[in-house]
């Protein structure tokens, strides 16, 4: 199972929009300077966009794919649908989703999700990974998180 780069959906979309503004392709280091981001933060966002098949990274460049161009052109609801479709392809999201499907009332306590994340990706910091999973899944409306109860849940049909 592949870990997720620790970045937010807003940073992912920001990178896609910036690339689009630059004709769809740019040098990674030039992009880091102009976005005023730490290189590590930009590389995490680029890795995420690559994992989601929105970009490719030939050489030292980053380039929008056709799906990435579609993402940038879409309205918010369309972006959420595309993002939803892409994260459902990632094994980690499938794993957590199935965990929620099997659960009573389609809800699982945060601690159980953290425990499972630690089990399947022992090299990763579970709390940071959890934040990324929740950020991406909320944006994509794949599953939610209730801060009051500490439960992850599937949206009602």
The strand pairing partners of 144, in sequence order, are: 153
Average pLDDT over residues 23-42: 87
Mean pLDDT of the chain: 94
**What is the pTM (predicted TM-score) of this model?**
0.92
Element housing 91 (H / E): helix 91-102
Are 63 and 20 within 8 A, CB to CB? no
pLDDT at 95: 97
Tell me which DSSP letter residue 105 carries: G
pLDDT digits (tens, 9 = 90+) for 60-108: 899 999 999 999 999 999 999 999 999 999 999 999 999 999 999 999 9
**Cα–Cα distance for residue pair 48/115, rounded to 1 Å:** 23
DSSP, collapsed to helix, strand or coil, labels residue 115 as: helix
The strand pairing partners of 64, in sequence order, are: 55
Radius of gyration of the chain, Cα coordinates, nearest whole angstrom? 16
**Cα–Cα distance for residue pair 63/4, rounded to 1 Å:** 20
Are 140 and 132 within 8 A, CB to CB? no
Are 136 and 90 within 8 A, CB to CB? no
Would you state the structure tokens that stand for residue 144, as one six-digit string?
A: 């939610």
Question: Which of 147, 130, 139, 142 has its CA nearest to residue 106?
Answer: 142
């Amino acid at each position: 199972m592949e870990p997720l780069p620790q970045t937010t959906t807003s940073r992912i979309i920001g990178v896609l929009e910036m690339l689009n503004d630059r004709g769809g392709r740019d040098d990674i280091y030039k992009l880091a300077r102009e976005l005023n981001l730490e290189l590590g933060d930009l590389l995490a966002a680029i890795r995420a966009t690559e994992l989601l098949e929105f970009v490719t990274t030939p050489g030292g460049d980053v380039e929008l794919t056709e799906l990435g161009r579609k993402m940038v052109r879409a309205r918010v609801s369309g972006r959420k649908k595309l993002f939803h479709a892409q994260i459902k392809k990632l094994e980690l999201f499938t794993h957590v989703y199935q965990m929620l499907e099997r659960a009573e009332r389609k809800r699982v306590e945060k601690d159980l999700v953290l425990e499972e994340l630690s089990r399947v990706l022992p090299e990763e910091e579970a709390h940071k990974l959890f934040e990324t999973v929740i950020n991406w899944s909320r944006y994509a409306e794949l599953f939610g998180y209730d801060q009051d109860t500490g439960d992850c849940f599937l949206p009602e049909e």
